[in-house]
Amino acid sequence: MTVAIYSRGLEDDLQVQLLMLLQELSRQNITILLYKALADQNPVLFEHGFDLNIFEGSADLNKSIDCLISLGGDGTILDTVTLVRNKNIPILGINFGRLGFLAGIGKEELTSAVDALVNGTFVIDKRTLVHLDASIPLFGDSPFALNEFAIHKRDISPMIKIHTYLNGEFLNTYWADGLIVSTPTGSTGYSMSCNGPIVFPESSSFLITPVAPHNLNARPIIVADSNIISFEVEGRMEQFICVLDARREIVDKSIQLAIKREQFTISLVRLNENSFLSTLRTKLTWGLDKRN
C-alpha cells in the first residue's frame, strides 16, 4: 500500500501528530510520499529513519497511490482536490483545523484511521464537482471546484447585476454583492453562511445563492446539476472577482462564464461511524439545548 500526505503547513503543537502518523504508517509497512513543502518544514522527520519519498505536485501522483491523507481543515482538502484531479485517488481528511465538514476524522483518531485503511473498513463517498467554462482561459489546468463557484464584486465597487440563465433560458437578474453556485458538498460552506439550504452530498444538484441581494425576494434556489448555468455581469466597475473554492481571479465583465457538472468525481474516505447526519449534528450542535 502507498499513501501520500499533504498539508499546507503545521503549527509546532501539531508536529507530534505528524510524527505519530508516520510511525503508524511505517509500522504497517505502508510506503509514504510526503509533500515537499511539509518535508522541508520538518527536516527532523528524516532523523527517525522513516522511508520517505517526496512529491511536489499533481504530476508526481498516479493511480498506484491508494490514498492521499490531508492534514488540516476543509481548506486543505480543497487544495488536495487540485492535486488529485481525475486520478481517482481517495482523500482521507484528518481534521487539524476547526469546523471540518470535509475533514471529519479527528487527530485523536489517527491510529484507527490507519487501521481502517489497512483493513479496508472504510466507506468511499463520491462527491461531484463544478466545472467552469469561460471565453478566456481561467484557473489554469484546474477549472473545477469541490465546494463552489462564485461571482463577487470587487472590494471597492458597488453591487453588480448578474444575469443568470439555465440552459440558455433566463432565470433571474441578481442585484447583489455576488452569486454562489455550490455543489451539495459546498452547501455547508460559503453558501450556508449566506442562508443557502443544506443538501445531502448524494443530491444531484446545484445551489444558486445570492450574496447580500438588493432585492429581498431573491431567494436561494436548487436546480438539477444536469443544467448548464451561464452568466452575464454588469456593473459600474469594469472587473469583478471570479472564485473557484479558495482560488480567485480578477475578470473583465465582458468575459462569458458558464458552469456545469465536472465529468469526474472526487472520492472522500469516511470511517463507517461518521455519517453525514452525525457530522451535521456534531458540527451544528443539532438536537442539543444550549440555553442552559
Which residues are known to be catalytic?
74
Distances (CA, A) of 92 to 17, 97, 220, 236, 262: 15, 14, 31, 44, 21
Quote the CA–CA distance of 281 and 285 in Å, as a whole number.
5
Q: Which residue has the cell 503549527?
A: 11
For the CA atoms of the chain, what is the radius of gyration?
20
A 10 A CB-CB count for 30 gives 18
Quote the CA–CA distance of 130 and 206 in Å, as a whole number.
9
The answer for residues whose C-beta is within 8 angstroms of residue 44's C-beta and 6 or more apart is none
Are 190 and 178 in contact, with CB atoms under 8 Å apart? no
Q: How far is residue 232 CA from its own chain's centroid?
A: 26
The answer for residues whose C-beta is within 8 angstroms of residue 282's C-beta and 6 or more apart is none
